A and B are shown apart, each in its own frame.
Chain A
Amino acid sequence: MKSVRRIWNRIVEFVIEKAIFLAGILSIVFVVLIFVFLLKEGLSLFKEYSPLAFLFGTKWYPISHPPSFGIVPLLLGSVVVTLGSIVIAVPLGVGAAIYVGEVAPVWLREILKATVEFLAAIPSIVLGFIGLVTLVPLVKQVFHLQTGLTAISGSIMLAFMAMPTIVSMMEDALRAVPSSYRYGAIALGATRWQTIWRVMLPAASSGMLAAVMLGIGRVIGETMAVMMITGNAAGIPTSLMQPVRTMTATIAAEMGEAVQGSDHYFSLFAIGIVLFIITFAINLTAAFFINRRSKA
């Protein structure tokens, strides 16, 4: 009887061990499968359409005869909105992180940090909707534009979305600087500001750069809010005050209409590949900065 039980236990042990292994390996398998599927569908476009015309074409007319799938306006749309939001979010984020991490009293620090992180919990469609009814009319009025559905509206709204990532990661980076640095600076007669500006910030710089990169990653992949407030006109943007069409909004808006197996359908997957490569590169850069920090 005992040996039966031992065998049973061994079987249970074996099954659980394999199940955990499977769970671990599955997440990798899924990523690979998604990438393979994306590649297979996206690259099908280039059987009939030149990759150069796709990457450097300036006209996005997917349902014309003949169609033209130039992603330059979409790529620039994404870049303009993202850069705009980073320009807004980074100074604010650095300021907030310094205040939360270095200046604020402990009780206030916890409240502030929780509040900033709570921003991340607001669904993007809600932010988009709020932006549409409050920010868009304001932008139109303040800048005397014909319409408030512009890149700048998208940038401002996305800056809100990037803030939690940026502030909380930067604050962590500041916190990770050894206290001996701060004490050393103060002992040498540096003021609080000099300590922060000359000692703490340089020491935390790789972590802060990683925070910016991940913030960019968050912004460039955002879809719903951007689709609602940037106007989605596929022109080449020359300023932030113009409507733009981003890559993500294009995929979301056109997927429903594209006939499965058509060039239009494949072209949306090809945009997906471009987006994938961009976010992959951004995450890789962020990982590089984080690594450098942990080694230093």
Chain B
Amino acid sequence: MFTNRTHQSIVLSGLVFLLGIFSPSCVDAREYKMLQIKGSDTMVNLGQAWAEEFMVSRNDVSIAVTGGGSGTGIAAILSGTCDIAQSSRDLKGAEEAKAVESGAPIVTTIVGLDGVAVVTHPLNPISNLTITQLSDIFTGKVTNWKEVGGADLPILALSRERNSGTHIFFLEEVLRKGNSKGPEEFSSSALMMPSNQAIVQEVKTSEAGIGYVGIGYLSDELKVIPVGHDSQGPFIVPTVQSVADGQYPISRSLLFLTRGEPQGDVRAFINFVLSAEGQEIVEILDFVPINH
């Protein structure tokens, strides 16, 4: 009998303990608001900086920013597992269809601009390249630097991996020259690098290398190639100024995607991002503010 009671009391106290664990967390969820932001690896540092600054004035809101690629973010916003998706590209056809199917229109807000710079080893004698030449280099049509006016050296083309918004942007804007459904593809001998930094690392050590990175990743160890629409020029160097006024041909918008019109805290956060203070952070992180 005694042991029986003991068993019962153990079970009871266990239940009480479990209740004790679960109940405060429920209360917490109501007091603290969690915003999930997910997506573009290019934008992850930017999102983090905005979130930190925003949370200084709004300590009742907690914002978690994660990367994984634009596609990951878009998949998450479509399945409702995040509040804002950061994306460096627009929705693709299949994603658009999925958004329509789920009944919640995806609202796009432009929060900044980015230029994609073409970089080579500092000793590369090339002075400029056209979009067509870049397309030929990355599709593998041109395989030696001498064919575009350089030294007699095989070209080592470095691309971002396919989970990168930058990869898709470069593919559609440069390789396919703006025709997003064109037949051009990255050459099968082009290396697929996991990050901007990996491309920087490889280009600065290989004289044959050519790659593309966000303008935030430029440094003295790289040669930035001025790019022109055609051989007549003008050939433009990517800078905050040339991206902001739309002169540099390979630039893009950085986007926030939300399910329906943003409301409540999401709205407040987006307003902060678009404010002068928020756009200052864009400039500090070497991206281009929208109203430069």
Q: Which residues of A contact B (CB under 8 A)?
A: 1, 4-5, 8, 59-65, 73, 137, 140, 146-147, 149, 227-228, 231-236, 243, 245, 253-262
Is residue B92 within 8 Å, beta carbon to beta carbon, of the partner chain?
yes
* A5: contacting residue among B3, B98, B171, CB under 8 A: B3
Check if B154 sits within 8 Å of A146, measured CB to CB: yes
* B75: contacting residue among A1, A253, A260, CB under 8 A: A260
Complex alpha-carbon distance, A233 and B211, angstroms:
14
Q: Which residue of B lies closest to A150 (CB)?
A: B191
Instruction: Enumerate 5 A-B pairs (CB-CB under 8 Å) in ascending A order.
Output: A8-B4, A146-B154, A233-B191, A234-B192, A243-B189
Given the known A-B contacts A63-B168, A253-B163, A257-B71, are A147 and B206 also in contact in the complex, defined by CB atoms under 8 Å? yes
Interfacial chain A residues near B162, Cβ < 8 Å? 62-63, 253-254, 257
Complex alpha-carbon distance, A59 and B69, angstroms:
24
Beyond A63-B171, A231-B192, A256-B68, 7 additional pairs, beta carbon < 8 A? A5-B3, A149-B202, A233-B189, A256-B69, A257-B71, A257-B72, A260-B79
Check if A233 sits within 8 Å of B192, measured CB to CB: yes
List which B7-44 residues lie within 8 A (CB) of chain A: 7
Interfacial chain B residues near A61, Cβ < 8 Å? 185
Is residue B156 within 8 Å, beta carbon to beta carbon, of the partner chain?
yes
Complex alpha-carbon distance, A257 and B92, angstroms:
11
Complex alpha-carbon distance, A236 and B191, angstroms:
13
| B42 CB, min distance to chain A CBs, angstroms | 13
Q: Which residue of A lies closest to B72 (CB)?
A: A256
Check if B163 sits within 8 Å of A146, measured CB to CB: no
| B72 CB, min distance to chain A CBs, angstroms | 4
Chief secondary structure at chain A's binding surface: loop
Is residue B188 within 8 Å, beta carbon to beta carbon, of the partner chain?
yes
| B162 CB, min distance to chain A CBs, angstroms | 5
Contact flags B191-205 to A (C-beta < 8 A → 1, else 0): 111100000001001
Q: Which residue of A lies closest to B207 (CB)?
A: A146
Interfacial chain A residues near B164, Cβ < 8 Å? 257
| B167 CB, min distance to chain A CBs, angstroms | 8
Interfacial chain A residues near B168, Cβ < 8 Å? 63
Check if A259 sits within 8 Å of B188, measured CB to CB: no
Check if B209 sits within 8 Å of A147, measured CB to CB: yes
* B191: contacting residue among A63, A243, A254, A259, CB under 8 A: A243
* A227: contacting residue among B68, B75, B194, CB under 8 A: B194
Check if A235 sits within 8 Å of B192, measured CB to CB: no
Is residue B173 within 8 Å, beta carbon to beta carbon, of the partner chain?
no
Check if A64 sits within 8 Å of B183, measured CB to CB: yes
Q: Which residue of B lies closest to A232 (CB)?
A: B192
Check if B206 sits within 8 Å of A256, measured CB to CB: no
Check if A256 sits within 8 Å of B94, measured CB to CB: no
| A203 CB, min distance to chain B CBs, angstroms | 46
Complex alpha-carbon distance, A129 and B1, angstroms:
63
Given the known A-B contacts A137-B205, A259-B71, A259-B98, are A1 and B1 also in contact in the complex, defined by CB atoms under 8 Å? yes
Q: Which residue of A lies closest to B184 (CB)?
A: A64
Check if B208 sits within 8 Å of A146, measured CB to CB: yes
Check if A259 sits within 8 Å of B92, measured CB to CB: yes
Check if A4 sits within 8 Å of B191, measured CB to CB: no
